[in-house]
Amino acid sequence: EPEVTQTPSHQVTQMGQEVILRCVPISNHLYFYWYRQILGQKVEFLVSFYNNEISEKSEIFDDQFSVERPDGSNFTLKIRSTKLEDSAMYFCASSDTSNQPQHFGDGTRLSIL
Amino acid sequence: LAKTTQPISMDSYEGQEVNITCSHNNIATNDYITWYQQFPSQGPRFIIQGYKTKVTNEVASLFIPADRKSSTLSLPRVSLSDTAVYYCLVGDEARDDKIIFGKGTRLHILP
C-alpha cells in the first residue's frame, strides 16, 4: 500500500535556527496537510495545501511557518526561527480528493535545544 | 466545544472483542462518523467511516443506532498490537481540509 514518507525521523536544532521538514505524499494525491503533536497532547492541525496554495491554516501557523511544494513529489514545512515550544512530532498527510480519508506519515520528531 | 465524548482510556485482554463507544448527541443530519487509530510513535491512520446502521471492513466494525447519537467501534479478537489511541470524529471534525482531533480513547491490550 502506498505510504506518506517523512524525513528526517528525528531533527535536533538549536533555538533560533531554521528547519525544513520534508514529506513525500502519496503520488496521485492532490491535497496535502501538516499537523503537529506536542508530547502528551492532541494532534493539532497546522495547514492544508491544494493547487499550490494554502487552503486553510490554524492560529499556530504564524509567519514563522511556511509550506512549499518545490517539485512534483515533495511537500515541505519550514520553520524560520525555531522556538523551544516548537518541539513536537510533525505529521504530514495527503488525500486524493477533498472527501477521502487523509493518509498520514509517521512523523518527524523535532527537538529544539 | 467538542462534538464527541469517548472514554479516556480502556484496558482489555488479548483475544477479547473490544467496543469503544462515542457519544455525539448533537450530530447533524449530514454528518458522517469517522474513526482514526494512532499507534505509539506513528501518525494517525483512518480505520472506518459510516453514516448509519453497520459498516464492516478488515480492521473493525462500526455500529450506529437509528438515532445516530452514538456509535460503537468494535475490534474483534484484539492483540497486543491493537494498543493505540482511537479517535472518534463527527462531521466537520473530519472534513475536507483539516481534521480536528480530540483526546481519543487510549486502548491498552494486556497479555
pLDDT at B11 > cutoff 90 = yes
- Residue B94 clears pLDDT 70, i.e. is over it: no
> And the C-alpha cell for A109?
520528531
| Domain residue ranges of chain A, discontinuous segments joined by + | 5-112
Q: What is the pLDDT of residues B21-47, one digit of tens each?
A: 999 998 888 889 999 999 988 999 999
How many CA atoms lie less than 13 Å away from B24 in the CB half-sphere?
Answer: 29
Report yes or no: B21 at the A interface, CB cutoff 8 Å.
no
Quick one: fold of A5-112? Immunoglobulin-like (2.60.40)
Nearest alpha-carbon partner for B40 in A100, A37, A58, A29: A37
- The domains of chain B are located at 9-110
pLDDT value, residue B30: 85
Position B2 pLDDT exceeds 70: no
Percent of chain B with pLDDT over 90: 77
B92, pLDDT greater than 80: no
CB within 8 Å: B46 and A35: no
- The grid coordinates listed for B85 are 489511541
Is the pLDDT reported for residue B95 higher than 80? Answer: no
How close is the nearest chain B Cα to the Cα of A47, in Å?
A: 8
Put simply, the answer to whether A106 touches B96 (Cβ < 8 Å) is: no
Is residue A61 within 8 A of residue A35, CB to CB? The reply is no
Q: How far apart are CA B109 and CA B111, in angstroms?
A: 7
Q: What is the pLDDT of residues B63-80, one digit of tens each?
A: 999 999 999 999 999 999
Q: Which residues of B touch A4 (CB under 8 A)?
A: 43
Torsion angle in degrees (nearest 10) through CA of B97, A2, A24, B43: 60
Predicted pLDDT at B98: 82
> Which CATH class, in words, describes the domain spanning B9-110?
mainly beta
Tell me which residues of chain A have a pLDDT lower than 70: 98
CB contact under 8 A, B41 and A106: yes
Q: What is the pLDDT of residues A57-75, one digit of tens each?
A: 999 999 999 999 988 789 9
Residue B56 — very low, low, confident or very high, per pLDDT cuts 50/70/90?
very high
- Calculate mean pLDDT across residues B15-24: 96
